[in-house]
């Protein structure tokens, strides 16, 4: 019995007509001999409007109640999906996260999956039903409903595939994972195979096509993921272990993330212990700090900058303002209009000159770099938000399109 987990994203289930198209994809899989397990997101826009509704009640809604509210989006979609399959003559049963059960920790609004029960799913399949599972939601050991963070249905799908020993199909509104967001770079290419490691970097640097945690999960349990379009039969992108990726390139993809805020603490006394004090306070408040830059010091003072996710910027601002005052810094400057542009590729481990080329391209386009961070397989630059799309296109041209030409000329393409 070969089980296939088929996940459908919000745009794919945005209307009853679209749900019917998705249902037909499930029936096709069944006819090919698979036992499908469906995972559905909420209909497009539903989660956003639920969040909006909550914000109209209060600026800071209790996170437990947020989960209670957001889980309804997926519950509605799975009921409609199962009804559609039944109408088409294929018995289906919808299940919320707690009914599977998908057990999570108790961190409301960004819970992590701990365990997935397979008994109920397997017996439904055995009895000839197609299970239609709600993405994005789970339940704590204590019976509280949780959600897995934005884009969390991807993680539900991969977790189910891992637990069931199945392959995982992510059906979405683009034909696969591209060398850059195809909505920003029209010449972006579909990648046929990508390693977990590269996909993980792309996802964490802004390519929202897969939720980061879903890729972490897949890498840990060796789940093979096929990302493809709901609206075409074409082969999409396979996310697989590194050994299975034949084509090794220096730069696999370019990403853009406009979800960060930069803070600069101006004229901080340059002495041991100050950085520790600032970043410890942020850490204690569970705020993840991304890029950090400390300028050269002048007459015993220095400027210190760092970035955090926009959703945590208000909280970070309060903390940093307090410490800045305490240590006698001049002021705290906040900049919400920044973008982080990154290039990612396993080939960067052994290539040289890549950073220089990246900075040169940005300079040629008159784009100033506000901060830089690197890892073995990525380089990120923080720039003014208004140049983000220009930067991505220029870097794509340099690192993806030109390289392709180079490889073709050399007979490797
Ligand atoms: P779904 O609702 O199916 O989960 P998402 O909106 O979460 O879909 O993710 C798909 C979107 O991700 C695409 O519409 C595309 O704009 C965006 N995206 C960003 N970077 C990339 C990339 N490198 N390749 C493919 N899509 C990308
Ligand atoms: N509905 C949730 C969201 O919009 C989860 C998902 O679509 O993956 O983030
Ligand atoms: Mg998504």
Q: What is the pLDDT of residues 383-412, one digit of tens each?
A: 999 999 999 999 999 999 876 544 444 333
Residue in the block written with tokens 């998908």: 102
CA of 364 to the centre of ligand 1 (A): 29
Beta carbon of 214 within 6 Å of any ligand 1 atom:
no
Query: Closest ligand 2 atom, CA of 42?
Result: 1
Beta carbon of 342 within 6 Å of any ligand 1 atom:
no
- For 191, what's the count of Cα atoms within 13 Å in the CB-facing half-sphere? 29
Q: Which residues of 320-345 are buried (b: 16+ CB within 10 A; e: fewer)?
A: bbebbeeeebeebeebeebbbbbbbb
CA of 194 to the centre of ligand 1 (A): 16
Q: Which among 249, 256, 355, 261 has a CA at the least distance from the CA of 314?
A: 261
Residue 34's pLDDT is what?
A: 97
Tell whether the model's pLDDT for residue 247 goes beyond 80.
Answer: no
Averaged pLDDT for residues 170-181: 97
CA of 170 to the centre of ligand 3 (A): 9
As a CATH number, domain 254-412 is 3.30.2130.10
Could you tell me if 381 and 340 are in contact, meaning their C-beta atoms sit under 8 angstroms apart? yes
Domain residue ranges in the chain: 3-173, 254-412
Beta carbon of 172 within 6 Å of any ligand 1 atom:
yes
pTM to 2 decimals? Answer: 0.92
Residue 413's pLDDT is what?
A: 33
Residue among 147, 151, 230 whose CB has most ligand 2 atoms within 8 A, to mutate: 151
pLDDT tens for 192-212 read 999 999 999 999 999 999 999
Beta carbon of 150 within 6 Å of any ligand 2 atom:
yes
Beta carbon of 135 within 6 Å of any ligand 2 atom:
yes
In the chain, % of residues over pLDDT 90: 88
Q: What is the largest distance, in Å, between two alpha-carbon atoms of the chain?
A: 78
Residue 214's pLDDT is what?
A: 98
Beta carbon of 36 within 6 Å of any ligand 2 atom:
no
Q: Which among 228, 254, 253 has a CA at the least distance from the CA of 176?
A: 228
Ligand nearest to the CA of 18: 1
Look at residue 251 and give its three-state secondary structure. coil
Look at residue 79 and give its three-state secondary structure. helix
Query: Closest ligand 2 atom, CA of 151?
Result: 8
As a CATH number, domain 3-173 is 3.40.1160.10
CA of 99 to the centre of ligand 2 (A): 19
Ligand nearest to the CA of 67: 2
Residue 134's pLDDT is what?
A: 98
pLDDT tens for 8-63 read 999 999 999 999 999 999 999 999 999 999 999 999 999 999 999 999 999 889 99
Residue 115's pLDDT is what?
A: 97
Phi first, then psi: what are they for 88, rounded to 5°? Answer: -80, 0
Four-residue CA torsion sign, 362, 367, 372, 373 = negative
Beta carbon of 178 within 6 Å of any ligand 1 atom:
yes
CA of 295 to the centre of ligand 2 (A): 40
């Amino acid at each position: 019995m070969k089980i296939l987990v088929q996940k459908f994203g919000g745009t794919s289930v945005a209307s009853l007509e679209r749900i019917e198209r998705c249902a037909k994809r499930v029936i096709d899989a069944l006819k090919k001999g698979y036992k499908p397990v469906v995972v559905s997101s909420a209909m497009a826009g539903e989660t956003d409007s639920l969040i909006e509704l909550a914000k109209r009640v209060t600026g800071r809604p209790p996170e437990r109640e947020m989960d209670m509210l957001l889980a309804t989006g997926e519950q509605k979609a799975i009921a409609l999906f199962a009804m559609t399959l039944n109408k088409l003559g294929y018995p289906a049963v919808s299940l919320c996260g707690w009914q599977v059960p998908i057990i999570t920790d108790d961190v409301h609004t960004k819970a992590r999956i701990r365990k997935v029960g397979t008994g109920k799913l397997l017996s439904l399949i055995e009895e000839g039903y197609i299970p239609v599972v709600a993405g994005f939601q789970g339940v704590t050991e204590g019976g509280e409903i949780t959600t897995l963070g934005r884009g969390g249905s991807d993680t539900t799908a991969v977790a189910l595939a891992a637990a069931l020993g199945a392959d995982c199909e992510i059906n979405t509104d683009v034909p696969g994972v591209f060398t850059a967001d195809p909505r920003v770079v029209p010449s972006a290419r579909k990648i046929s195979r990508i390693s977990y490691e590269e996909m993980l970097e792309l996802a964490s640097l802004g390519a929202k096509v897969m939720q980061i945690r879903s890729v972490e999960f897949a890498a840990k349990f060796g789940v093979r993921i096929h990302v493809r379009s709901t609206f075409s039969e074409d082969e999409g992108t396979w996310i697989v272990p590194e050994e299975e990726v034949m084509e090794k390139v220096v730069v696999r993809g370019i990403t853009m993330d406009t979800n960060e805020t930069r803070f600069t603490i101006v004229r901080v006394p340059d002495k041991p212990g100050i950085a520790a004090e600032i970043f410890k306070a942020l850490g204690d408040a569970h705020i993840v700090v991304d890029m950090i830059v400390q300028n050269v010091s002048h007459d015993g003072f220095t400027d210190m900058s760092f970035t955090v996710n926009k959703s945590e910027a208000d909280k970070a601002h309060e903390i940093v303002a307090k410490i800045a005052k305490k240590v006698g810094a001049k002021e705290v400057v906040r900049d919400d209009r920044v973008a982080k542009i990154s290039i990612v590729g396993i080939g960067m481990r052994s290539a040289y000159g890549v950073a220089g080329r990246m900075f040169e391209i940005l300079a040629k386009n008159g784009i100033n770099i506000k901060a830089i961070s690197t890892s073995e397989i990525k380089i990120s630059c923080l720039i003014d938000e208004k140049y983000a799309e220009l930067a991505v296109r220029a870097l794509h041209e340099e690192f993806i399109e030109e390289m392709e030409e180079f490889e073709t000329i050399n007979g490797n393409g």
